[in-house]
Structure 1
Amino acid sequence: MKRRNFIKNIGLGSAAAAFTVGQGIEALAADKIESNPFNLDYAPHFGMFKGHSGDDLVDQLKFMADQGFRSLEDNGLLGRSVEDQNRIGQTLEQLGMRMGVFVVDGGDNWKVSLTTGKQEFIDNFVNTCKRSVEAAKRVNATWATVVPGFFERRLPLGVQTGHVIEALKRGAEIFEPHGLVMVLEPLSDTPELFLRHSDQSFAICKAVGSPSCKILYDIYHMQRNEGNLIPNMELCWDEIAYIQIGDNPGRKEPGTGEINYQNVFKYIDEKGYKGILGMEHGNTLRGKEGEQALIAAYRKADQFK
């Protein structure tokens, strides 16, 4: 599955708005986890703060911790060397940080799909789940993202759904003994994707019937596909194990689009959520200025108490 490249070129109008958000960030940027923590556990990804920390993975993690972030999200973990995976895991432990999701990436699953029921795709998925267990051990991960792939238009929808459920049962059998959770992510990137809605994901998780098969509720995608965010989260809450963030339109930091993130975060906090919220979005501004604006945006959205 080739994850989308969501960091886009920035327009002047958005840049001006983000600059306003970023004013006064200099004092906030020096806060440490222990002295000024966020109310919720937001997880940046590698590359988000390269302007301040450079290219080295360890230096980037240290900068994240210095700003008060307590977790990391790394979609591309499976593509990293064992050496880098070990460095990430060791550094997270030293900094007292958690590992968020990585992607169970077994190839171009945007087009090859578990909906087909074909053995070659099931075998590839199962083998990638096994590799994911080993990678998860190195970084002490709990969650791994799974996307079933595209529709198979030559099959009835119910048959496709059945194929996906059976494949996910195979994945759950691999993950359960290790306490790992695959989180299904409904997406909005193209209508060709099979998994697109929270209620659909809820029904599939119930059918799989495993603590190792839950929902990744990406607020950006769900705003695009169905809206009504808080009521829909409430309906599916029992199956939501992981949350991701991105404002809409634009898929940038909170406060740059139409979503009232203070209200959404307040709801999540009141539900007693102790998991990670992955910052799967781009920065509105480039360089250090954009990174400072991003941190300020999270400080503002996090002020819901």
Structure 2
Amino acid sequence: MKRRSFIKKSAAASTLVGLGSQGITALTKSKNDLNSGYNFKLKFAPHLGMFTHHAGKDPVDQLHFMADQGFTAFEDNGMKKRTIDTQKAMAKAMTDRGMTMGVFVAHKIDWKTPTLTSGNAAKREKFLDEIKESIEVALRLNAKWMTVVLGFIDMKQDFNYQTEHVIEALKQASAILEPHKLTMVLEPLNFYNHPGLFLSKSPQAYQICKAVNSPSCKILFDIYHQQIQEGNLLPNINTCWDEIAYFQIGDNPGRHEPTTGEINYKNIFKHIYAKGYQGVLGMEHKNSIEGINGELAVINAYKEASNF
């Protein structure tokens, strides 16, 4: 028996033991609804853990399950922390299945104290060293994008000085990435989940990227964060368009899959598709329902939101 099939059957069996007849009903329905992969119009990228009830815990088996459902991309914030052997195995699986590697986090994020905003030379050098380390990971995985979070506001400095400190650090990082044709994507984060962070709005990210003026420094437009922070999603996407290199997805409230909240994802996906977007859209959200039914709900939500 192939390892992939064994893992799937083992995972299903474990689930059935815990759920009894309800588990049998859920699994039967799931199998009936997952007979063939869906032809998604956009490169939606699930993450590890999203489909463990169907695919098991092995990362490679999870990738194969994603591909079987029609997903053509994958993202993993924690990829840099995985072993080299695991990275290589995942890279091979993605190559074999024609999947595009999305973002991973390029550096250690300090969620408590100012870093790049401070202008501190030692903190900047640490950041640049981590960018250099991330190049090896990106090349190993055939990745093009890596996430950068600019850190906390420095309450002891004028905001404009902080902006200049950030721009200078990003210019130096871009010079490191450009020869490898890699791109760091700056992620604005909302005030509700991440109070006190320096980068929170898409116009601010747009201004910084224009100042850095490099193909290696672009915007990660997280639709969930920007719905909370500023709304006005489609006009802001249009205005920032030439600096956006990556999208992430999550409905609000709750940060779950599309169709569970207030964001009209069908219109957003239709708009992005019509503009000719060829990049990845990371599914950076939780499942709204636990278990097999929750995993099936995620897949069906993306089918529904892609039906335009």
- The match for 2:195 is 191
- The match for 2:273 is 269
Name the aligned partner's letter for residue 253 of structure 1.
E
CA separation of 1:110 and 1:78: change in aligned 2, threshold 3 A: farther
| Mapping 1:153-232, distance limit 5 Å | 153-188=155-190, 189-232=193-236
- Give the secondary structure class of the aligned counterpart of 2:39: coil
8 Å CA contact 1:74–1:102 kept in 2: the answer is: yes
Q: Which of 259, 262, 266 is 2:263 aligned to?
A: 259
Q: Which of 49, 52, 66 is 1:50 aligned to?
A: 52
Instruction: Note if 1:29 corresponds to 2:31.
Output: no
Higher helix residue share: 2
Q: For the aligned residues, what is the CA RMSD?
A: 1.4
Please give the alpha-carbon distance, in whole angstroms, between the structure 2 residues aligned to 1:108 and 1:220.
22
Deviations 1:256-279 (A, max 9, x none): 000000000010001000100000
- Structure number with greater CO (CA < 8 Å, separation at least 6) is 1
Please give the alpha-carbon distance, in whole angstroms, between the structure 1 residues aligned to 2:296 and 2:198.
37
Please give the alpha-carbon distance, in whole angstroms, between the structure 2 residues aligned to 1:190 and 1:278.
19
Please give the alpha-carbon distance, in whole angstroms, between the structure 2 residues aligned to 1:142 and 1:115.
25
Please give the alpha-carbon distance, in whole angstroms, between the structure 2 residues aligned to 1:245 and 1:111.
27
- Give the secondary structure class of the aligned counterpart of 1:191: coil
How far 1:26 moved relative to its partner? 4.8
Please give the alpha-carbon distance, in whole angstroms, between the structure 2 residues aligned to 1:172 and 1:110.
25
36-45 vs 156-165, greater mean Cα deviation? 36-45
| Mapping 1:235-250, distance limit 5 Å | 235-250=239-254
CA separation of 1:49 and 1:102: change in aligned 2, threshold 3 A: same
- The match for 1:86 is 88
Normalised to the residue count of structure 2, the TM-score between the two structures is: 0.88
Please give the alpha-carbon distance, in whole angstroms, between the structure 2 residues aligned to 1:202 and 1:110.
25
- The match for 1:21 is none
Normalised to the residue count of structure 1, the TM-score between the two structures is: 0.89
Deviations 1:149-175 (A, max 9, x none): 000010000000000000001110111
8 Å CA contact 2:75–2:102 kept in 1: the answer is: yes
How far 1:28 moved relative to its partner? 3.9
Counting aligned pairs with the same residue, the percent is: 53
CA separation of 1:107 and 1:219: change in aligned 2, threshold 3 A: closer
Please give the alpha-carbon distance, in whole angstroms, between the structure 2 residues aligned to 1:137 and 1:110.
31
Deviations 1:187-211 (A, max 9, x none): 0122300000000000000000000
Larger radius of gyration: 2
- The match for 1:115 is 117
Name the aligned partner's letter for residue 267 of structure 1.
H
8 Å CA contact 1:112–1:121 kept in 2: the answer is: no
How far 1:120 moved relative to its partner? 1.7
8 Å CA contact 1:109–1:148 kept in 2: the answer is: no
Name the aligned partner's letter for residue 193 of structure 1.
L
Structure 2 unmatched ranges of 5 or more: 1-28
8 Å CA contact 1:26–1:292 kept in 2: the answer is: no
Deviations 1:216-264 (A, max 9, x none): 0000000000001001111110100000000000000000000000000
Equivalent pairs, count: 279
How far 1:111 moved relative to its partner? 2.8
